[in-house]
A and B are shown apart, each in its own frame.
Chain A
Amino acid sequence: MNIQIRERPDAAASAGIKTAIADCDIHPARATKDELHPYLAKRWHSHLETFGVHPYQGMMEGPPYPKAQPNASRRDAYPPEGGPQGSSLSFMQKQHLDPNNVALGVLNPLNTGQGIRNQDLAGAICSAINDWQIEKWTAKDSRLKGSVVVANEDGVSAAAEIRKRAGDKNFVQVLLLSRNVEPLGQRRYWPIYEAAQEAGLPIGVHAFGFGGNPITASGWPSYYIEEMVGHSQCQQTALASLVLEGVFERFPKLKMVMVEAGFGWAPSLAWRLDKVFARLHAEVPHLKRKPSEYIRDHIWWTTQPMEDPESRDHLFQTIEWIGWDRLLFATDYPHWDYDEPSRVLPAGVSDANRQAFYLDNAKQLYGMA
């Protein structure tokens, strides 16, 4: 057993960064299991007590893989007043928002109603999470903005929730996850895109989710490290589906953000899609342009995790293909794979690109410029 003697009160504070930044992936957590109760109809309190939740995934509780740190989070991010990492606004301010000069923080709540089979319950929990984001976070700190969480497998309920939040300045995007029951371009999800386009909200597609399918294309792997890299496979499936089903043709103003799945794979996916599209376009005649053009016009990318090749030139070449105007800085606070803002970008980036990378792209995309 370790007995820690703390002498430095600010041992947890990070080195910090001078210029203001946007952090496009922050994970707020609930301090207690019943923190959502005030936002849920009484009917659901007793339902949860009696029946619990039935997820799409096979295992009844917890994620399918153990995580690298408790709650997949930084060990120094436990709030002093107790509760899991990410559950205290005051500690988040002290440990992350203030020292890192976060001017805009986009909240992406995980472990919400998404992935619950009972669609009425899923919708009720998602809506409660949205109320909770306002009351606990965005109303108390104007730097923070929420993501509209929706019952993703029920397009009708999801669209209704988006319309309910449209125009509410507490929210800057709609949140989906990459692992769903079907690839994200499928028609069951179209009402979500229609409502998001109408509301002028980008859609963030965050890695993870529990759609019930194995997390790789060939079954359940053995290790957490395989799940980590599997996110990019899943995101590629989602993106190919969105493009090939014609989502961007049908919703030409739709903007999407690929969150927490890397971006180094984007050029090769686009090249491959363009190559086969040249031969097979007769199969998807609803596409009027090359797949890569839809990707470049409609997709933004958050940086955590950022690929870290030995040669920084390789990183810069990848970013040049994607566009310095398409990257959104993210830390993934308080999760264990958190990126420290002052350490994440290699030297050799122009001031204009740094400014775009750390702040301006996000402000523009989220309508805060």
Chain B
Amino acid sequence: MARHVIAPVDELPPGSRKFLEIDGRPIAVFNVKGEFFGLLNRCPHQGAALCEGPLIGLASSSDPGEIEYTKLGEILRCPWHGWEFDIRTGQSYCDPRRFRVRAYPVSVEPGTNVVKGPYVAETIKVAVESDYVVVEL
């Protein structure tokens, strides 16, 4: 498992997402209110670029007439057929047993670690004074 430095934290502000390709795999990294999540950018249903979909909430209901809207900004909706996935885990809500999208751990590392550590920085210049977003796959 390799770790890849993808951007300084400042370049990926809350609400933004970054599309990249690592080892031939299309990946997207999201900043949701300061938390980072990485997902394979391919819907397991028919192969759409899943991560281009909107981030919405989860509408659920315990009883008819009672509707809860939770996980705001944490549910990714496929741009084609609207299948919904939990951005934290990759779990689908239409068929959780059979369909999930691959989720990759994303962390924020101080620049000193990035310079010292075994990470690969391919597209950006590493500056020791910043924090960096690092995706693992």
Q: Which residues of A contact B (CB under 8 A)?
A: 1-8, 11-12, 14-15, 68-69, 74-76, 336-340, 342-344
Contacts and interface: CB of A to CB of B under 8 A. Distances in A.
A69 B79 contact: yes
A21 to B, nearest CB: 15
Interface of B: 12-13, 15-21, 26, 41, 45-49, 52-55, 79-82
Nearest to B73: A2
A336 B16 contact: no
Contacts of A2: 15-17, 54-55
Given A4-B52, A76-B49, 15 more contacts: A2-B16, A3-B16, A5-B16, A5-B17, A6-B19, A7-B19, A8-B20, A8-B26, A11-B52, A12-B52, A14-B48, A76-B48, A336-B82, A338-B80, A343-B46
B124 to A, nearest CB: 12
Contact of B47 (A3, A5, A14): A14
Consensus secondary structure, chain A interface: loop
A339 B48 CA distance: 10
Contacts of A338: 46, 80-81
A9 to B, nearest CB: 10
Nearest to B43: A340
Consensus secondary structure, chain B interface: loop
Contacts of B52: 4, 11-12, 75-76
B18 A5 contact: yes
Which among B16, B21, B41, B46 has the greatest number of chain A C-beta atoms within 10 A? B46
Contacts of B55: 2
Contacts of B47: 14-15, 340, 342-343
A11 B79 contact: no
Nearest to B52: A76
A277 B112 CA distance: 83
Nearest to A340: B46
B13 A3 contact: yes
